[in-house]
Structure 1
Amino acid sequence: MMIRKASVMHVYKDHYEEYKKRHDELWPEMEEMLKAHGVSDYSIFLLEDTGQLFAYLRVEDEAVYARVSETDICQKWWAYMEPLMETNKNNSPVSIDLTEVFYLA
């Protein structure tokens, strides 16, 4: 059974195009790492009025997914994205997990 996850983040308004460009050109090793950690159906949506990002993905296992942040490629990606969005001290995106309240299969 796949686990659905959703979160919100924030991209700076003057970096919308660059944020999209960098995801359009996602590094192959980043994609490989995510898939190796059981990630699928990963989408990010932008609310242009505010810069709010809504991320949705499915994972096979929460514990395996939690190790994504420990990989060198993830650390490199976070540093690459840091100038474009709100981040924590370790360059990870400021991300708020959302609680699922409805699902229709």
Structure 2
Amino acid sequence: MQRVCFLLRVRRDRLDEYRERHTAVWPDMLAALSGAGWRNYSLFLREDGLLVGYLETEDFDRARAAMAETEVNARWQAEMSGFFEELDGAGPDEAMRPLTEVFHLA
């Protein structure tokens, strides 16, 4: 199982709305994530907008590619892209750059 952690930055003026959107993630989006192999997926948001994401999957590149093929992900990414800083023209999923794991206590 591959453990993946990534960072993004949410715009400070949209923190409350970002939190609200994640209290009711679309059921078809949740099903797509599960179907693509995303497990134990969590998002943590700091008050300054730092977003830390964590997930487990067999193959992150394959799981991300599977999501990219879904219609619901295209809709979700289009709606969510305005919440983030520093995407440099990429969608939020494309801007995810996994951090290198340097320690894990099993």
Task: Pick the TM interval, shorter chain.
Answer: 0.7 to 0.9
Given that residues 5 and 53 in structure 2 are in contact (C-alpha distance below 8 angstroms), is that contact kept between their aligned partners in structure 1?
yes
CA shift for structure 1 position 29: 0.5
Match of 2:63 in 1: 65
1:3-18 aligned at under 5 Å gives the runs: 3-18=2-17
| Secondary structure of the structure 2 residue equivalent to 1:57 | strand
Distance 1:27 1:37 in 2: 16
Distance 1:43 1:66 in 2: 15
CA shift for structure 1 position 78: 0.7
Match of 1:55 in 2: 53
Pairwise CA RMSD: 1.6
Distance 1:63 1:81 in 2: 21
CA shift for structure 1 position 88: 4.4
Alignment length (residue pairs): 103
Which deviates further from its counterpart, 56-65 or 34-43?
56-65
CA shift for structure 1 position 75: 1.1
What one-letter code is carried by the residue in structure 2 that aligns with 1:84?
F
Which deviates further from its counterpart, 64-73 or 23-32?
64-73
Give the TM-score of the pair, scaled to structure 2: 0.86
| Secondary structure of the structure 2 residue equivalent to 1:55 | strand
Distance 1:65 1:97 in 2: 13
What one-letter code is carried by the residue in structure 1 that aligns with 2:91?
N
1:1-105 aligned at under 5 Å gives the runs: 2-49=1-48, 51-67=49-65, 68-86=67-85, 87-93=87-93, 94-105=95-106
What one-letter code is carried by the residue in structure 2 that aligns with 1:55?
G
**CA 1:88–1:75 in 2, change beyond 3 Å: closer, same or farther?**
farther
Give the TM-score of the pair, scaled to structure 1: 0.87
What one-letter code is carried by the residue in structure 2 that aligns with 1:76?
R
